[in-house]
Structure 1
Amino acid sequence: MRHEVTEADTAVTVGSGDVPVLATPRLIAWMEAATVEAAAPFTTAGQTTVGTALRVEHVRATRVGGRVDVFAEPPAAPGAAGRRLTFRVRAVDDAGRLVAQGEIDRAIVDRQRFLDSA
């Protein structure tokens, strides 16, 4: 997934800092969106996935106007319980430099049962 950093994506606007660069919370949202897409093949009708944990290291600033490509590598197969998925995630800028990397966990849930319990 490719994203262009806008003023709306900055730490100043999001409230996570006072510099006009890509905010870590926005970057994590983009990474989570990539995992949602990558999780689709692991679900069946009536199922969805929900985020449960993340371990992300944001290592390089990206200015407004910069582009960031976000990748989510799906697991080879669901975990032993069959409902947990751990994705390797990374983001690189338009110069090919690493912006962030880590892991995001998602759980496969029955959509209606999940909504009923909320």
Structure 2
Amino acid sequence: MHEPPEPSFAPGLTARVELTVTDADTAQAVGSGDVPVLGTPRVLALAEAATVAATATRMPAGQTTVGLRVELDHRVPTPVGRTVVAQARLATVDGRRLLFEVTVADGGETVAEARVERVLVDRQRFVERASRAS
């Protein structure tokens, strides 16, 4: 079995995604608290979405990335109706491991900062292995 060719990912790749906070995004709705503000799990999902978007246009056929490790500092509450923007930047490439730095902001205010590590995998083999594990 041969390994796929290394992708052409280089530090500096960026992407941004936006989310306008709705009632469905609140800590109350996602079960991470009892306050009606943007829930931390949604902040994490937004950060991960930005990392996926950063590699999407250069992803080799049959490959994908999966989350491996996350560090997240959620610093400021965001009420329903506000729009937050996650900006991801690929900071380090180490073989198949990709380390991203992500900032989530509401206007000029930093809501959260994250470091997201993803690993490049063969999509079909990954799904088959996961199916056998269950």
Structure 1 length normalisation: TM-score? 0.92
C-alpha deviation, 1:102, in angstroms? 1.8
Query: Which of the residues 32, 42, 45 maps onto 1:26?
Result: 42
1:7 matched to which residue of 2? 23
Aligned residue for 2:87, secondary structure, equals: strand
1:99 matched to which residue of 2? 111
1:88 matched to which residue of 2? 101
% identity of equivalent residues: 50
Query: Which of the residues 25, 38, 41 maps onto 2:54?
Result: 38
After the TM superposition, which parts of structure 1 deviate over 2 Å for at least 4 consecutive aligned residues?
Answer: 39-43
CA contact (8 A) 2:99 2:117 kept: yes
After superposition, give the CA deviation of every residue in 1:53-77 in whole Å (9 maximum; x if it has no partner). 100100000000011011110135x
1:108 matched to which residue of 2? 120
Instruction: Say yes or no: does 1:72 pair with 2:84.
Output: no
Q: Distance in 1 between matches of 2:128 and 2:91?
A: 29
Tell me, which stretches of 5 or more residues in structure 1 are unaligned?
A: none
What are the within-5 Å matches in structure 2 for residues 48-63 of structure 1?
48-63=64-79
Name the amino acid aligned to 2:45: A
Count of aligned residue pairs for this structure pair:
114
Tell me, which stretches of 5 or more residues in structure 2 are unaligned?
A: 1-16
Cα RMSD of the aligned pairs, angstroms, is: 1.2
